[in-house]
Amino acid sequence: MHAKQVFAVTNQKGGVGKTTSAINLAASLAATKRRLLLIDLDSQGNATMGSGINKLELESSTYDVLVDQQAIDRVAQPSPEGGYDVLPGNSDLTAAEVELLSLDNREHRLRLAIDEAREHYDYIVIDCPPSLNMLTVNALVASDGVLIPVQCEYFALEGLSGLLDTISRVKQSLNPTLEIEGILRTMYDPRNSLTRDVSQQLMDYFGDRVYRTAIPRNVRLAEAPSFGLPVLIYDKQSKGALAYLALAGEMLRRHEQQRSATAVNE
């Protein structure tokens, strides 16, 4: 049984801080001396650009891993300053989505590639596209856990039901060990009463799967991607950087507790 180490960061609702969370969680876990791979499955290539890699100059990308079954270690490259590796993505992924439909093992292609690369990394974080398409299904089939960023606003919970439905279908038919790793509240403003209400609803529904750490609205966090840097490198004293470091710490403690509990039960 391998350690629980592959996470899909997904929410089909755009603008919830999904890519920001994938990049900064990768950088924060890497800062704790964990070996990290960030996989960009979004054709916008924002996680690639935000990690300091030019999506327009890629010789090969996630597309080649999915469609041509190239090995991850041949395609991944280091983030220049992030301290982690990136399997980069760009607009070729739009074609991958269509081409996958006619290929054998179409839902399992990312998992097969990750299985070969797993031993090189402590954690693998997958930034999913903002829709429930074949690329997202590949991510869910390949993952041990799903991290769901949620903005605490009026329609937040409404958008979640479709995602939870997809997760449960994938769990039933394609990946029986898939679990919700955690719910991450993003763009969090505790002074706002709607934020507090939605936050409470999330806790009522998901219980302790909601991370204690919430990610605040933060200018530095919003600026960092345009410099191709995780916020931890861009401004490590900023509230955004401190929040993602706290999230990484919370995740690692949870995993430590889960490992201890499993060891006791065996």
- DSSP sequence for 129-186: -SS-SHHHHHHHHH-SEEEEEEE-STTHHHHHHHHHHHHHHHHHHT-TT-EEEEEEEE
Q: What is the pLDDT of residue 1?
A: 37
**Prediction pTM value:** 0.95
Q: What is the pLDDT of residue 158?
A: 79
Q: What is the pLDDT of residue 71?
A: 97
Residues of the chain with pLDDT under 50: 1
Domains annotated on the chain, with CATH: 6-265 (3.40.50.300)
What is the C-alpha to C-alpha distance for residues 5 and 145, in angstroms, rounded to an integer?
A: 8
What is the C-alpha to C-alpha distance for residues 244 and 29, in angstroms, rounded to an integer?
A: 9
Q: What is the pLDDT of residue 15?
A: 84
Q: What is the pLDDT of residue 3?
A: 54
